[in-house]
Structure 1
Amino acid sequence: MTLHTIVWLRRDLRLADQAAFHAATQAGPVIPVFVLDDETLRHRRMGGASRWWLHHSLARLDADLRALGSRLILRRGRCEEILPALVAETGASSVHALHHYEPWWRNAERAVARSVPLHLHHGNTLVPAGSVLTGSGTPFKIYTPFWRALSERMPPAPPLPVPELAAPAQWPASEPLEDWGLLPVRPDWAAGFRAEWRPGEAGALDRLETFAGRASRYAEHRNLPSMEGTSRLSPHLHFGEVSPATIWHRVADAGGSVDTFLGEIGWREYAQNVILQYPDYGSRNARDAYDAFPWREGADADADFTAWTQGRTGYPIVDAGMRQLWATGWMHNRVRMIAASFLIKHLLIDWRRGEQWFWDTLVDADYGSNAVNWQWSAGTGVDSNMFVRIMAPLTQSPKFDAGDYIRQWVPELAHLSDFEIHDPVKPVRGYPQRIVDHAAARARALAAHQALKG
């Protein structure tokens, strides 16, 4: 009897450079399986934007598999229950999967391994998370020495090709993707998503090719939101539609300032190492002193938070970013920092509320990167910006030439001149007044930090 294996897919929805597929093919026919497990994720179940992306990524992967004579099996429930049941149903000899470092997936891997032979492989990071160590053999907590040590191990191994997949004699039943309700219906808020993104491995590789042509100018253009200077690969990376090794090998020799971009891939690696050391990094301050920080709460703070989420703060660069996020599921990286700093320091609202909003609205809502970036902005992380360094949105906007970006996302201001649009001096019909004065907000934030220090 020919043995076959199961490949358990999660955030690794690709065929190229997929070590689990390659290992599984050595044993015979392969059954690719994706389990929608909201129960294991509990309060970290995917947000609406991620679920939209997941639907289209799964559909695309199934089409790619069928082109190879295979298919994707969909099941819903707890992985630790679904996978052993599927092994028993199909007579599979083992389950292969890629390592994931979110705490819930590590728990799920241990639970699955207690019931079935589970073989885990690396491939979602350049090197295994936790393997880049200090001279004393401990994990790095600070990014710069981590990146220096990681760079010494580069380049990564060459990417694996798309494998040849043999099909089992009989396929197990699969749930219809449409029955999972991953797409918005009433209302359908995803029109901007459809215009902006093409989920799936082919879309990821096309995006990579487009970026490769300008990777040498990354440092010069990445902070300019009015330009197409970033890679926009983050959602494809998050869902594993392209591996970091594939990206590295495609752009590393671009010359110019491509090393700055490679450092951003390194930051993603760093984030995975952080959540391996601090599994609750998305909900707990890394610096205990900030547990006593006097965050604003109550009706006024809630009203300010709502204004921030809706892009109605009266600060054009912040509002442009928040509206771009709502419309497309993505926000320019420089603007993410400005918007996060504004929530934390201008409004004195707990960074965790912002992290949760991004978790629900970003198509690249990666637990490690999202948590590390928010704690960096808040000054609460193991490696973070100082709280007293407060970004001034009215200065950041002209500094990074955000005029056309604001015109695109805040059309009420589109008629203003390049000089006025960053900081309208007169009220503009339909556009809100500032919910807080910059100087007063800065003074309030510094006083709150001083009170924390005692």
Structure 2
Amino acid sequence: MPTTIVWFRQDLRVWDHEPLFRAARRGQVIPIYIFERSLLHHPEACAAQIEFILRCLYALDLDLQKLGGRLILRDGDPVEILPNLIAETQAEGIYAYTDCDRIYSRVRDAKVIKRLTERQMRIRWFDPPASIDDLIAYPKYRDRWYADMNSAITPSPEKVSVPEEVVSDRLPTLMELGHQPDQKFIPAAGTEPARILLKEFFETKAKSYYWQLSYPSAEATTGLSPYIKVGAISIRECVQYAKAFTKDPDPKIRLSSKQLISRLRWGSGFHQRFRYMPQLEVRSLYTVFDEDGWDFDPIHYQKWQQGMTGFPIIDAAARCLLATGGWKELNFRSRAIYSSFLSNLLGMDWRYGALHFMQHLIDGDCAIDHYQWAMQAGVTHCVDKSWTRIYNPGEAAIARCDPEAKFIKRWLPELADIPIEKLGGNLAAFGYPAPMLDYKQSRKERVKQLEKQRSIFREQKNVLPYLARMPDYPIPFPLSPEQIPNWLTEQNPPLFPHALDLESLDLEQAIKLRTWLVAHVEIQPHKANTLKPKNEPPSKAKSSRKAKQQPDSPFRQLSLFESM
């Protein structure tokens, strides 16, 4: 009976898992997960997310046991472990999904391929749904995404037979992996808890999700983002479950289900951008932004991290992230406002913000978070855009996202007795830190800077000359050239899957790539709201306008720091 190794990475499930299903159908299976020190001690490693992964691995092992199998654990370098395991077990080869999560992952997989080839061993790669090698225009990718998501879900294997002689390491603790618990709440792990969240969302939240996404205190999100990140549930399963509600009799539920599906698609789109251009993990999209350099003030950075900026909506977001890992309450709008403050108003490199987020987000996803950080800094979707969304962190942000100050007062209890209408101003008289910057002046300086930088490439049909290239040594930020990690053993390391070779693209291909770097809907700057005391009635004109307002289009909200 043939034996196949199935290498689990970002796919910790037995349902909708094509490599596992195919391997089990052809014979015995060795399902393996390898703890890689280069990932565990990456500068952006998050202790809470690693703890969640440990619990998902425990749940995966239980699911495999129900099928007659078990999970095999190893600790070390896959380049050494996998060929040796093939030799020891006489396995025919390895099945695995491609992994474009980080540059490290692609360098590692290229090394695995090389080592296996040298030893005349085989590996078969499977692309996850809606992850493709060919360069196509974004509108065609959108069609491909829907086609892949509507295709049949791969069932779990009927049986998983693991050779008895293959021994597994025990599941380590977080501390044994070199991390300390940071007291964040860890959600229940595995596929079944993810399915319960999805079901509960449509039972209890779907009527309000579409309208409450911008309000962190509403906790309107599904809570699925940590599960999708580690692959405890597939995006396709989520899409097909949500699709059933797009024809619900309740129009509110129909809108919310379509919005959720759109957000899942946007998340896949960010991953596809990283498949094309992995350099976006460590560089801004256009070279001018990094060449001009960024400001960095360690004291201001620390105040931003700890929630001591003097702007309550920013400080509440900071403390929520540190305390919870952000997976439920720190929604996309809160993350956008918080990030815009660092890059646009303090003028700091967006990569410092992404670093802090990734170190604390339980749902941290390199492609989504890095690209969205760059987007909030104004350095991505700007080739055909003349304005920049820079959030006002004072009264306007509170009025728009936390008009009852529930989020602020939950995370800043020292402001519990401050009237809502005063929260957008200077609160130094109440013993709170004074605002650390002048919004209007900081915004003016940032807009002037962006206008100058963007003028170099704006409206260019061919943007290739202006795009960032992969560095010779793609060192994780913020490591210095003297801190090259041990997995970077050569200049311009081979990657698998391969990145786009920007130098070889012709004009037609350049135009296709450009479609990935622009906004596909017309979005105008948001009109600022104001805070009013609760007992102050709105004017007749405002009341009339409010009564006539229609729900915003689901395609107006492009800020997406989480998958849904």
Name the CA shift for 1:151/1:179 in 2 (closer, same or farther; >3 Å): closer
Deviation at 1:156, TM superposition (A): 2.2
Query: Is the counterpart of residue 111 in structure 1 residue 129 in structure 2?
Result: no
Paired residue secondary structure (1:35): strand
- The match for 1:410 is 412
Matched, 1:308 2:310: no
Q: Taking structure 1 as reference, are residues 152 and 179 closer, same or farther at Cα in structure 2, changes over 3 Å only?
A: closer
Residues 424 and 436 from structure 1, CA distance in 2 versus in 1: closer, same or farther, beyond 3 angstroms?
Answer: closer
Question: Would the alpha carbon gap of residues 173 and 422 (structure 1) be closer, same or farther in structure 2, given more than 3 Å must change?
Answer: farther
1:427 alignment partner in structure 2: 429
Does structure 2 retain, via aligned residues, the 8 Å contact 1:316–1:406?
Answer: yes
Q: Distance in 1 between matches of 2:451 and 2:241?
A: 48
**Pairwise CA distance, 1:45:** 6.4
Alpha-carbon shift at residue 155 of structure 1 (Å): 4.5
Q: Quick one: which amino acid aligns to residue 17 of structure 1?
A: D
Supply the distance in 2 between the matched residues of 1:216 and 1:3 (Cα, whole angstroms). 51
Measured at CA, do residues 72 and 178 of structure 1 come closer, stay the same or move farther in structure 2, by a change above 3 Å?
same
Compute the displacement of 1:4 (Å): 1.7
User: Is 1:440 aligned with 2:431?
Assistant: no
Whether the aligned pair in 2 keeps the contact of 1:55 and 1:183 (CA below 8 Å) is no
Q: Which amino acid aligns with 2:111?
A: A
What amino acid does structure 2 have at the position aligned with 1:276? Answer: R
Structure 1 residues 361-382: Cα deviation after superposition (integer angstroms, max 9, x where no partner): 1112211111110111112125
> What is the aligned partner in structure 1 of residue 193 from structure 2?
203
Distance 2:45 2:386 in 1: 30
Secondary structure of 1:46's aligned partner: coil
Q: What SS is found at the alignment partner of 1:295? A: coil
C-alpha spacing 1:259/1:130, structure 2 compared with 1 (3 Å): farther
Task: Give the direction of change, closer, same or farther, for the CA distance of 1:131–1:449 in structure 2 (3 Å limit).
Answer: closer
Aligned residue pair count: 434
How much has 1:432 moved relative to structure 2? 2.2
- Work out which of the residue numbers 140, 144, 149 in structure 1 matches 2:143: 149
Q: Which residue, out of 182, 204, 208, partners 1:189?
A: 182
Q: Is the CA contact 1:211–1:231 (under 8 Å) kept in the aligned structure 2?
A: yes
Deviations 1:219-245 (A, max 9, x none): 212111110211221111110001010
**Matches of 1:170 and 1:422 in 2, distance apart?**
65
The Cα shift of 1:209 comes to 1.2
| Residue in structure 2 matching 1:246, options 237, 258, 265 | 237
For 1:220, the equivalent position in structure 2 comes to 211
| Aligned match of 1:267 | 266
> Residues 451, 386 of structure 1: CA spacing in aligned structure 2 closer, same or farther, 3 A cutoff?
closer
| 1:193 counterpart SS class | coil
From the superposition, tell whether residues 129 and 387 of structure 1 become closer, same or farther in structure 2 (CA, over 3 Å).
farther
1:66-105 to 2 correspondences below 5 Å: 66-102=65-101, 103-105=103-105
CA–CA distance in structure 2, aligned partners of residues 361 and 268 of structure 1: 19
Alignment CA distance shift 1:408-1:131 (3 Å): farther
CA distance in 2, matches of 1:38, 1:387: 43
CA–CA distance in structure 2, aligned partners of residues 40 and 411 of structure 1? 37
CA distance in 1 between partners of 2:387 and 2:192 (Å): 41
* Of 338-347 and 29-38, the range deviating more from structure 2: 29-38
Match of 1:95, SS state, is: strand
Kept in 2: contact 1:146–1:270 (CA 8 A): no
Instruction: Please list the CA deviations of residues 418-452 of structure 1 after superposition, one character each: whole Å capped at 9, or x if unmatched.
Output: 333444655333x3222212223223323443564
Q: Deviations over 1:122-149 (max 9, x none)?
A: 33xx423345723xxxxx3xxxx36753
> Residue type of the partner of 2:417?
H
User: Percent of aligned pairs with the same residue?
Assistant: 27
Partner of residue 348, structure 1: 347
Secondary structure of the 1:254 match is helix
Answer yes or no: is 1:61 the counterpart of 2:47. Answer: no
Whole-angstrom distance in 2 between the partners of 1:54 and 1:109: 21
1-structure distance, mates of 2:382, 2:40: 27
Q: Contact conserved, 2:48 with 2:182, CA < 8 A, in 1?
A: no
1:229 to 220, 224, 242: 220
Partner SS state of residue 164, structure 2:
coil
Q: What's the counterpart of residue 130 of structure 2?
A: 127
Note the alpha carbon deviations across 1:226-279, whole angstroms, 9 max, x for none.
Answer: 102112211111100010100001112323212222111111111111111211
Give, in whole Å, the separation in 2 of the partners of 1:432 and 1:40: 38
Task: Select the residue among 153, 161, 179 that pairs with 2:155.
Answer: 161
Contact 1:412 1:428 in 2 (8 A): no
Q: Contact conserved, 2:310 with 2:426, CA < 8 A, in 1?
A: no
Aligned to 1:320: 316
Task: Give the C-alpha shift of residue 151 in structure 1.
Answer: 6.0
TM-score (norm 1): 0.88
Distance 1:184 1:81 in 2: 22
What is the rounded CA distance, in whole Å, between the counterparts of 1:147 and 1:227 in structure 2?
33
Compute the displacement of 1:28 (Å): 1.0
Contact 1:101 1:275 in 2 (8 A): yes
Q: Is the 8 A contact 1:342 1:391 kept in 2?
A: yes
The answer to which structure, 1 or 2, has the higher relative contact order (CA under 8 A, 6+ apart) is 2
Q: Which has the larger radius of gyration?
A: 2
Counterpart CA distance in 1 for 2:140 and 2:258 is: 15
Cα deviation, 1:293-330, whole Å, max 9, x if unaligned, reads 35213xxx110101111111111111111111111111
Distance 1:28 1:401 in 2: 56
Q: Cα 1:242–1:380, aligned 2, differ >3 Å: closer, same or farther?
A: same
* Alignment correspondent of 1:283: 282
Distance in 2 of aligned mates of 1:386 and 1:360? 33
DSSP-derived class of the 2:74 partner: strand
The one-character-per-residue Cα deviations of 1:77-124 (angstroms, maximum 9, x if unpaired) are: 11111111111122212211112123332333333234131122233x
What code does the residue aligned with 1:303 have? I
The offset of 1:406, in angstroms, is 1.1
- TM-score normalised by the chain length of structure 2: 0.71
CA distance in 1, matches of 2:143, 2:25: 34
Q: Residues 152 and 14 from structure 1, CA distance in 2 versus in 1: closer, same or farther, beyond 3 angstroms?
A: closer
